Amino acid sequence: MRARVTKGSRPRSGVWRSGPALIGGVLVLLMAVLAVAGPIIWGEAAERIDAGAILQGTSAAHPLGTDNLGRDLLARVLVAGRYSLALALAATLIGAVGGILLGALPSVLPRRAARLVTGAVNALVAFPGLLLAMFTAVVAGLGARGAVLGIGVAIAPGFARLTQTLAASVAGADYVAAARMLGVPRRRVLARHILPNIAEPLILNLAQSLGGALLGLAGMSFLGLGVQPPDFDWGRLLFDGFTRIYVTPEVVLGPAAAVALAGIGFNLLGDTLARAAARSSAGQRDTARPAPPEPAVEPDPEAVLEVRDLTVSFPGGSTPVRELSLSVAPGEIVGLVGESGSGKSLTAAAVGGLVPYPGAVTYGRLRLGGADVAAMSGKELGTALAMVFQDPMASLNPALKVGGQLAEVAIVHQGASRADARRRAVDRLGHVRLPDPAKHAAQHPHELSGGMRQRAVIAMGLMGTPRLIIADEPTTALDVTVQRQILRLLREVVAETGAALLFISHDIAVVGELCDRVVVMYAGRVVEELPADRLADGAAHPYTRALIASLPDLDTDRARPLAGIPGTQPSPAQVGAGCAFAGRCALATERCHTERPELVDHGPRQRVACWEVTS
Amino acid sequence: MRIEGLTVRYGGFTAVDDVTLEIPDGHVVGLVGESGSGKSSLARAVSGLVSYTGRIDGAQRVQMVFQDPYASLDPRMTIGETVGEGIVKRRRATEVPRLLGLVHLPAELADRYPRELSGGQRQRVAIARALGGDPALLVADEITGSLDVSVQGAVLNLVRGLRDELGLSMLFISHNLAVVRYVADTIAVMHHGRIVEHGPAEQVVEEPAHDYTRALLAAVPRLRG
């Protein structure tokens, strides 16, 4: 839920610089120019009948030869562009409009009629497109009109199916349910909610269909079902030249190349559009780790995890984690708490080398179990670090059995045999108190409840011998009763294995209950560190105190309004020079807005970054 | 409003099993239970979004506010269009600012799009849209479930304020007993599709009668010290 912020998506312009995109763009542009200018420039040459040059091959005057009336074929190919493209456009529009209407109908019709339409579309999709096109063309009569209708009809079922699928997903959205409850008529729901939200993929499909329609029409003309003389398009020129292919093959070269180039152009353009629209954060591992100067402080040999001056930034000036330092001792449970957007999840991702592209990670020191993370192999990191995420379903492959997925960890990381790995998987599942582990190991993830799945993910982390377990909101998707069980399990695992736990949560009550020490983050920085048992009455930073005050518990006075924190956390791109919390803080003075307080000691085992508290 | 013998089935699975529940005028009834206990199915039946058997009396003009404020607003519609959706055209110009005012949002937000708003603001917009339908009953399904704690307090205050100012009846659903206790007059505890306990909020929290209620109470995380 909380991780929905798309942390940095690749700029769309990048897509357009790839080779295929460039070729597609140039080809489509050329075709457009040809369609506009072709008939104007070569129109006369294409119609000029020359009785002295009938059925010639390549010559200086006629590079692609002439036809049976002595007309220049190169000129005819160039002129035919406009007609061919116009017909393709018409066919695509007929197919798209018809298909979208057909696909959208089920969302406005009563249930019975909707089923009927859906069934009809399914039947049409199963029909071969060319057959559908030829059938329609024959029924509608020979000629350009029949061919365009035919290709349009062939394109329509695909559009209808796409529209239907997309519309069905939007129709299930909460805002459509809300509109229905407000009594908005179905027609309006379709026009205002459904169509605008599915327009993008439909437009992409349009570009790709254009290429298909062009090829289809050329095919129809080639079969003699399309354009009839004296009109001509590329397909017709191909048809006319085909009988001479053994004598003067060059006469079919022109129309064939034109059809191929235009088809390739539109398909490449459609692909590019689709990729530009779909491109979100690609989960590439960031290998570049430019390190700032090594800090003067000596490494702490005791710490399981030691982070110094960790910064995560994204292009465009967004810096969600800023010079963060953190250390975790063996067997210690440290809670990392903050609102969504405070950078806590990215901190965890940076430790595991999982920051999504194009995020840049820099640090002064990042050591796990006494070794530099940058020098560790993927295998070493994989066994020393276990990560548990919010959604256990996303961490497990739904197609594989639970036991097999766990066993894979041991096979890959420890080189265990299949039988040994399986035995260990069942043992680990029992270790996380999964009842009847052998049975559950043979099941698929969907057969387990949410709590059981989270146990399985924790067991997967325990397949190695982790020095550190990072749990990122592991109980947020679970019920309070299951949450309690998972918290107890995590505590037991830490006690038994001696591993340390970095527990990330937005819920300060959960953190306070589970952890030994709490680290509070705000706008990418640590604002306070304190022992968990001091949270209730020893918290010093105004932000920590406000977080605690805004949490209703079972003793909250119902007669009084709940405390909240006015305003919002500054976005990672807009953190100013002073204290990031100053804008929402009741204690803030002039100094807080201009000068950033450092994290300094404040009593035993407590550190806080606040001018008003420490000075 | 009264629900009697309400049952919701999905195929062979019974999500809500013969539930009887009364929501008096101007009262907030809290509904707690774990996921799969049937509380969301009950809410959707009351809102007319799923079919059911049994009787629901006085369920005219039910509006619902959903859990995820990121999924419940149409990203292509401005806030003003969203809030004005249930209002006849000629009254929209005056009603939209009034509704935004009710949920403590500035009227200028009407021209913005949901992506420009924070989670808490979006949830207020969703509440304003529901109020635009002039509801006799407002169903709030886990409306603070995906909000930050700092924002949750303000939304809960808003919910209580709306009840006091507008005399709004409400079915307030959450798995968090502390949250429900704060806003509800009475609490109904749901378990395996049935209501196992229903009583005044303080009484359910302080003297729980059912074992399952006690288990829920014990699971609420608290700060030590």
A49 close to A71: Cβ distance less than 8 angstroms: yes
Q: How confident is the model at residue B139 (pLDDT cuts 50, 70, 90)?
A: very high
What are the pLDDT digits (tens) for A581-605? 999 998 999 999 999 999 999 988 9
Q: From the CA of A265, how many Å to the nearest CA of chain B?
A: 31
Of B148, B182, B222, the CB nearest to A513: B222
Q: Is B39 on the interface with A (CB under 8 A)?
A: no
What are the pLDDT digits (tens) for A509-523? 899 999 999 999 999
A536 close to A282: Cβ distance less than 8 angstroms: no
Cβ–Cβ gap A178/B126 under 8 Å: yes
Mean pLDDT of B65-82: 92
Cα–Cα distance for residue pair B93/A552, rounded to 1 Å: 37
Q: Is B62 on the interface with A (CB under 8 A)?
A: yes
- B68 contacts on A by Cβ (under 8 Å): 1, 174
State the DSSP string of A217-263: HHHHHHTTSS--TT---HHHHHHHHHTTTTT-THHHHHHHHHHHHHH
Query: What does residue B174 show for φ and ψ, rounded to 5 degrees?
Result: -160, 155
- B205 contacts on A by Cβ (under 8 Å): 554
% residues pLDDT > 90 (chain A): 33
Beta strands in A249-376 (DSSP E): 305-314, 318-328, 333-337, 360-362, 365-368, 371-372
Q: Is B151 on the interface with A (CB under 8 A)?
A: yes
Q: From the CA of A568, how many Å to the nearest CA of chain B?
A: 8
B11: which residues sit within 8 A by CB, 6+ positions away?
none
Asked if the model's pLDDT at residue A13 lies above 70, the reply is: no
What pLDDT score does A11 carry?
44
> Quick count: other Cβ atoms within 10 Å of Cβ A123?
10
Asked if the model's pLDDT at residue A300 lies above 80, the reply is: no
CA A306 to chain centre: 32
Query: How, if at all, do strands B2-10 and B13-22 pair?
Result: antiparallel
- B130 contacts on A by Cβ (under 8 Å): 178
Q: Which residue of B has its CA nearest to A193?
A: B74
β-partners of residue B197 are: B189
**How is chain A split among helix, strand and coil, in percent rounded to 5?**
55, 10, 35
Burial A268-295 (b: 16+ CB within 10 A, else e): bbbbbbbbbeeeebeeeebeeeeeeeee
Query: What does residue A437 show for φ and ψ, rounded to 5 degrees?
Result: -60, -35
Return the closest-CA partner of residue A94 out of A237, A240, A245, A209: A209
Interface contacts A/B by beta carbons within 8 Å: 170
What pLDDT score does A10 carry?
41
What pLDDT score does A282 carry?
40
What pLDDT score does B72 carry?
93
Angle at A211 between CA A209 and CA A213, to 5 degrees: 65
Mean pLDDT of A447-470: 88
DSSP element (H, E) containing A472: strand A468-472
Cα–Cα distance for residue pair B87/B129, rounded to 1 Å: 9
* Least confident segment among A211-215, B71-75, B125-129: A211-215
Asked if the model's pLDDT at residue A385 lies above 80, the reply is: yes
What are the pLDDT digits (tens) for A354-365? 888 788 999 999
- Give the pair of three-digit tokens for residue B16: 């809500």
Of A1, A177, A565, the CB nearest to B146: A1
Q: Is B113 on the interface with A (CB under 8 A)?
A: no
Asked if the model's pLDDT at residue A17 lies above 80, the reply is: no
Q: What is the mean pLDDT of chain A?
A: 86
Of B76, B130, B153, the CB nearest to A564: B153
Q: From the CA of A524, how many Å to the nearest CA of chain B?
A: 16
Return the closest-CA partner of residue A89 out of A224, A207, A204, A264: A207
For tokens 């589970």, what's the residue?
A514
Quote the ipTM score. Answer: 0.86
Q: From the CA of B188, how many Å to the nearest CA of chain A?
A: 16
Cβ–Cβ gap B150/A546 under 8 Å: yes
Mean pLDDT of A494-498: 90
- B146 contacts on A by Cβ (under 8 Å): 1-2
- A173 contacts on B by Cβ (under 8 Å): 71-72, 74
Cβ–Cβ gap A556/B182 under 8 Å: yes
Task: Tell me which of A402 and A340 has the higher pLDDT.
Answer: A402
A494 close to A502: Cβ distance less than 8 angstroms: no
Q: From the CA of B205, how many Å to the nearest CA of chain A?
A: 8
What are the pLDDT digits (tens) for A45-87? 888 888 888 888 888 888 888 888 889 889 999 999 899 999 9
CA A228 to chain centre: 48
One-letter identity of residue A203: I
Cβ–Cβ gap B177/A552 under 8 Å: no
Taking a contact as any Cβ pair under 8 Å apart, which residues of chain B between 4 and 33 contact chain A?
none
Q: How confident is the model at residue B190 (pLDDT cuts 50, 70, 90)?
A: very high
What pLDDT score does A352 carry?
87
Cβ–Cβ gap A183/B86 under 8 Å: yes
Cα–Cα distance for residue pair B161/B155, rounded to 1 Å: 10
Q: Which of A393, A478, A551 to mutate to test the interface with B (most CBs of B within 10 A)?
A: A551
Three-class secondary structure of residue A145 per DSSP: helix
A312 close to A346: Cβ distance less than 8 angstroms: yes
Cβ–Cβ gap A564/B154 under 8 Å: yes
Asked if the model's pLDDT at residue B137 lies above 90, the reply is: yes
> Quick count: other Cβ atoms within 10 Å of Cβ A168?
15
With 0.90 as the threshold, say if the pTM is over it. Answer: no
- Give the pair of three-digit tokens for residue A403: 């036991």
Asked if the model's pLDDT at residue A540 lies above 90, the reply is: yes
Return the closest-CA partner of residue A402 out of A472, A475, A455, A469: A455
Of A174, A508, A553, the CB nearest to B72: A174
What are the pLDDT digits (tens) for A310-324? 999 988 888 999 999
Polymer length of chain A: 615
